[in-house]
Amino acid sequence: MYHLLDCFFTLLHLVIIGFNLLGWIWPSTRKLHLIVVALTLGCWLILGIWYGLGYCPVTDWQWQIKESLGETDLPNSFVKYYADKISGQPISSALIDAITGISFATAIMITVYVNFIKKSR
């Protein structure tokens, strides 16, 4: 059961990350994208006050599953975990955080543009 839950959370993570980065593209998903980006930012910053900057409840839940499966020394970031796993090398947390932050900030700027600025023209 834990393996199935781990796969579910991995898929959920990938869907959320993909939608956060690309959901602004389709006019029909732009409002939802704005909401999901705001929720993500809220988790990172508001929940981050108590749990640490960049906190993600999905990562927290998935790490609980991974710990039940015997994994240890899990990083704070899902992206870092899979970047290391895919590359087979430990990648700098600072680099992963920078790429994640820049990509997310770009998505925020684009969604604000397509939802508010472009729409009003």
Query: For the purposes of burial, counting CB atoms within 10 Å of the CB of 59, is it exposed (0-12), middle (13-18) or buried (19 or more)?
Result: buried
Torsion of CA 9, 56, 95, 73, to 10 degrees: -70
Distances (CA, A) of 24 to 17, 18, 69, 97: 12, 11, 36, 22
What does each of the 121 residues of the chain score in pLDDT, given as a tens digit?
A: 999 999 999 999 999 999 999 999 999 999 999 999 999 999 999 999 999 999 999 999 999 999 999 999 999 999 999 999 999 999 999 999 999 999 999 999 999 999 999 876 6
